[in-house]
Amino acid sequence: MKLFIDDLAVEDGFVVDTTTIEEALRHVQINLCDEDHLVVGIQCDGREVPADRMTDTLRQPAHSFERLDIHTDTKTSLVCDAMSQASACLTETEQACKQAADLLTEGRTVEAAGTLGECLHVWQQIHDAVAKSVTMLAVDPEAFTVKDEPLIEAIGRPRDVLMQVRDALVARDYVMLADLLHYEFGNVTSCWRSIVDALLEHSERSRRNA
């Protein structure tokens, strides 16, 4: 089997002869990647591995393929992409949140709950992306500030309101839910956007200075 990392041929007997694809990826990440790079994708014999086949593919012996391509990217680039996507998702869900509030006002609670359920899923993804970005950038959440507030406190405020929204949905307390959407969520979205923008700016600056 031939091994390529970012389109460059690599001679490595450990990967070629003795490992599964999963072990090969772990070996490449630990031993063959620069410190600021992460493995982000693979191709086996020139074909992308579909998400629904990834688990099975990772278990296969590396030598069962003639060519394994491993793709990497820098942590700062990954954070830039993640935060740019998070910003776009915030814009989309902000509109959906307003729509849900209007539906509640009109008494269309089932439709409102469905819309908010989708929003909650996206908001959770944004929260996870922020947490992973902080880890990848090795940011100290107590020292890094967002509008003069420690990041660790800024992250906690949207999370608290999210939990209240989730609880109101589960309890079908639509009065409380409407109040949260009308009086709390504008500040939540603003806080999230400040966090995303701060991390995006930090990662872009780090990428320029690399």
Range 28-34 contact pairs with CB under 8 angstroms and sequence separation of 24 or more:
28/70, 32/5, 33/5, 33/72
Asked whether residue 113 falls in the same domain as residue 162, the answer is yes
Q: Whole-angstrom Cα distance, residue 191 to residue 209?
A: 27
Asked whether residue 150 falls in the same domain as residue 120, the answer is yes
Confirm whether 94 is domain-assigned.
yes
Over the stretch 163-174, which tens digit does the pLDDT of each residue have? Answer: 888 888 888 888
Asked whether residue 41 falls in the same domain as residue 96, the answer is no
Asked whether residue 58 falls in the same domain as residue 85, the answer is no
As given in the structure block, the two tokens for residue 191 are 């806080």
- What is the per-residue pLDDT for 207? 78
Alpha-helical segments (H) within the chain: 13-18, 21-27, 54-59, 75-105, 109-136, 151-171, 174-183, 185-209
Asked whether residue 125 falls in the same domain as residue 46, the answer is no
Q: Which residues of the chain have pLDDT under 50?
A: none
- Number of structural domains (the chain) is 2
Confirm whether 72 is domain-assigned.
no
Over the stretch 51-101, which tens digit does the pLDDT of each residue have? Answer: 889 999 999 998 889 999 999 999 999 999 999 999 999 988 888 888 888
Give the end of a domain, one of 65, 87, 114: 65
Range of the domain at 160: 77-209
